[in-house]
Amino acid sequence: MSLPATIRQLRDEMRGGQSAVAVCEAVLEHIEQIKPLNAFNTVMRDEARARAAAIDSDPARWRNAPLAGIPIAIKDNICTKNVRTTASSRMLERYIPPYSATAIERLEAAGAVVVGKTNCDEFAMGSSNETSAFGPVRNPWSPDRVPGGTSGGSAAAVAANAVPVALGSDTGGSIRQPSALCGVVGLKPTYGRVSRYGLIAHGSSLDQIGPIGRSVADAAAILSAIAGRDSADATSVDQPTMDYERALTGDARARIGVPRSLLERGVDPQVSRAFFAALDVLKSGGAELVDIELPHARYAIPVYYIVSTAEASSNLARYDGVRYGLRAGPAQGGLHGMYSATREAGFGAEVKRRIMLGTYVLSSGYYDAYYLKAQQVRTLIRRDYDAAFDTVEAIAMPTAPTPAFRLGERVDDPLQMYLGDVFTVSANLTGLPAISVPCGFTAERLPVGLQLTGRAFGEAAILRIADAYERQTEWWKQTPTLRFHE
Amino acid sequence: MPDGISREDVLAIAALAELELDAAEVETFTKQLAEILAYATDIRQLETAGIPPTASVVFRAPAERPDDARPCLDRDSALANAPEAGAGMFKVPRVIG
């Protein structure tokens, strides 16, 4: 078989007699070739081969399975039973989950072959994949640049054609921003659409698992497999799901809102140019563009970094060296000495910074001024989006204000790093679904992403519009020529 | 009102968060947290009287299930990742003298 391949191409090849084992071997070989990108924490060679062989040996059982034999990479903060799951942290370097995330079980029930666990920012905190305890991932389009984060390994692995699809997780843009920076498609579903059971918690009111793929159709195929109510996650909801590939009619007709005043400052001119050119394509395909206002969207970054760090400081309290993960600590100093020595040794700088910030905004005397205030402004941001969606079906923005930046460029300036999330965090604060699709390149051949945000549970609409856009463009077919400085 | 953040604040928060920061981290975080919180000043000036806080964006009431006992992890699996275990339990440093 030849790579790159989409799920559709692989399905055709396998219907034509190609074995799941052959597809798996080709992918494993490709993963080996892209090793300098550092996209994988763990490659599951034995497990993937055994699984592919099992699928080949029982064609009757798997003939109608939508993802039979399709290789997929999984972000390393999503639990895989009996396979090391680290969240790219020293804290969980040797953690072997006793269960799989619901999303993994559903992918496997649909026939997918999990081939490995991808590198990410530590505990999914970062915007560049540079906070990983196992080193940064490199951008396949320019190896001295970041792939984005936090699902940087998943996006880079797909962009470099090592795998057709991958799972990521998105708390403030962690699927969409790396997808934009690596030139692939990434979808954050509506909060509650996909079970979070088995996702290592970061910001529990913001986190969602979602797909990264080369095409909108592939993202739709993966969403179809993982969506739906799960009794193990009380926040997953009982909303009808569908075969989202069937929503892809090629019809771009829709009212699309454009928050122009939000885009006036702080956007790289080349990103702006690609974005407005994409709007022209949508318009020529039948979309109606409408100017909208999102008056509180400019407060989304401070609100996000208060709410998400507050939730993270609480979620990460569980890493105390008792039940799982690292234990460090002095022989003396008792239980608390062990806790703090473990947390000092196990967490990296960004995770500590966020735990500190979150603890501060929740602490007595500061709670009302920061945390409560941020939750109130979160309501105002939701109301802005509710009002906009009274008149439009989707809202268009660039996914990220700049293309991929250089490794190391922002690591010493956390605030600068946070500001890059300006267009992505609102979808998490509001819970709305949002997709990033490739919409052009800069002069240095760095990809640019177009983001479409939809109504709650309106994945079908944004997938349809994104797919119609993709059919009119060739950006998504571009692939990087890998050049490694060994 | 909270404005700026001192070295003492950072040490107090670190103690609350069970983090044992070294001297360099204390210095770095004092500076960085002050910068990040200064950026949040904008929202503190917004008028929000009477605006309810959003803690969750669950769009539909989640379905409930009967409160029946269901299978769960067995003891050995639950203990398998423990840094230290014994007699079917997690072991921790001595708490009481």
pLDDT at B63: 67
Domain contains B96: no
Please determine, for residue A238, whether its predicted confidence score (pLDDT) is greater than 90.
no
B82 falls within a domain: no
pLDDT value at residue A486: 46
Q: Which of A476, A426, A430, A431 is nearest to A450 (CA)?
A: A476
CA A287 to the chain's CA centroid: 27
A335, A359, A379 member nearest B17 (Cβ): A359
CA distance B69 to chain A (A): 13
pLDDT at B62: 65
d(CA A150, CA A139): 13
Per-residue pLDDT at A331 exceeds 80: no
- Do the beta carbons of residue A36 and residue A160 sit within 8 Å? no
Percent of chain A with pLDDT over 70: 98
Asked if A362 and A313 count as a contact pair (C-beta separation under 8 A), the reply is yes
Considering just the CA atoms, what is the radius of gyration of chain A in Å? 21
CB A374 within 8 A of CB A303: yes
Window from A2-16, A269-283, A458-472 with minimum mean pLDDT: A2-16
Asked whether A415 and B35 are in contact (CB, 8 A), the reply is yes
- List, in sequence order, the alpha helices (H) in chain B: 7-16, 23-39, 41-44, 75-79
Average pLDDT over residues A181-204: 98
Asked if B83 and A326 come within 8 Å (Cβ–Cβ), the reply is yes
Q: Is A93 exposed, middle or buried (0-12, 13-18, 19+ CB in 10 A)?
A: middle
B2 lies in a domain? yes
| Non-local CB neighbours of A375 within 8 Å, separated by 6+ positions | A307, B53, B54, B55
Cβ-based burial of A53 (10 A; exposed 0-12, middle 13-18, buried ≥19) = middle
- Residue A295, token pair as written in the block: 């008056």
CB A74 within 8 A of CB A80: yes
Report the CATH number that the domain containing residue B16 is assigned in CATH.
1.10.20
Give the chain A residue whose CA is nearest to the CA of B52.
A376
Residue B69 lies in a domain: no
Q: What is the mean pLDDT of residues A42-53?
A: 98
Answer yes or no: is B38 within a domain.
Answer: yes
3-state secondary structure of B15: helix
pLDDT per residue over A85-120, tens digit each? 999 999 999 999 999 999 999 999 999 999 999 999
ipTM reported for the complex, 2 dp: 0.94
Q: Which residue of chain A is at minimal alpha-carbon distance from B10?
A: A356
CB-closest option in B29, B36, B54 to A378? B54
Q: Which residues of chain B make contact with A303, given a CB cutoff of 8 A? A: 43
Distance CA A342, CA A320 (A): 7
Model confidence at A1: pLDDT above 60: no
Interface contact flag, B90 A303, Cβ < 8 Å: no
Write the CB contacts of A308 (distance below 8 Å, at least 6 apart in sequence).
Answer: A171, A172, A202, A203, A206, A354, A358, A428
How far apart are the C-alpha atoms of A314 and A359, rounded to whole Å? 8
Average pLDDT over residues A259-268: 94
**From the candidates B7, B8, B36, B51, which should be mutated to test the interface with A, based on the most A CB atoms within 10 A?**
B36
Total number of domains in chain B: 1
Residue A2 has pLDDT above 70, yes or no: no
CA A95/CA A176 separation, integer angstroms = 27
Summarize pLDDT for B31-84 with one digit per residue, the tens.
999 999 999 888 988 999 999 999 999 877 766 778 899 888 999 999 999 999
Per-residue pLDDT, A484: 67
* Spatial distance between the Cα atoms of A484 and B80, rounded to a whole number of angstroms: 40
H or E segment to which residue A303 belongs: helix A300-315
| Percent over 90 (pLDDT), chain A | 94
Beta bridge partners of A185: A213
Q: Which residue of A has its CA nearest to B49?
A: A376
At residue B65, the pLDDT reads 76
Min Cα–Cα distance to chain B from A82, Å: 11
pLDDT digits (tens, 9 = 90+) for A404-448: 999 999 999 999 999 999 999 999 999 999 999 999 999 999 999
Residue A332, C-beta contacts closer than 8 angstroms, at least 6 positions apart: none
A107-159 pLDDT tens trace: 999 999 999 999 999 999 999 999 999 999 999 999 999 999 999 999 999 99
B1 and chain A in contact, CB less than 8 A:
yes
Domains in chain A, start-ordered, CATH in brackets?
A: 7-251+455-477 (3.90.1300.10)
The closest of A258, A242, A176 to A211, measured between CA atoms, is: A176
Least CB–CB distance from A335: residue in B37, B62, B92: B92
Cβ under 8 Å to A: B residues 24-63:
25, 28-29, 32-33, 35-37, 39-40, 42-44, 46, 48, 51-60, 62-63
Find the DSSP H helices in A34-73: 45-56, 59-62
Range of the domain at B7: 1-47
Scanning the structure block, which residue is given the tokens 């609350």? B16
- Radius of gyration for chain B, computed over Cα atoms and rounded to the nearest angstrom: 23
Of residues A455 and A4, more confidently modeled:
A455
Half-sphere exposure of A297 (CA within 13 A, CB side): 25
Contact B80 A98 (CB under 8 A): yes
The answer to whether the peptide bond before residue A4 is cis (omega within 30 degrees of 0) is yes
B79 lies in some domain: no
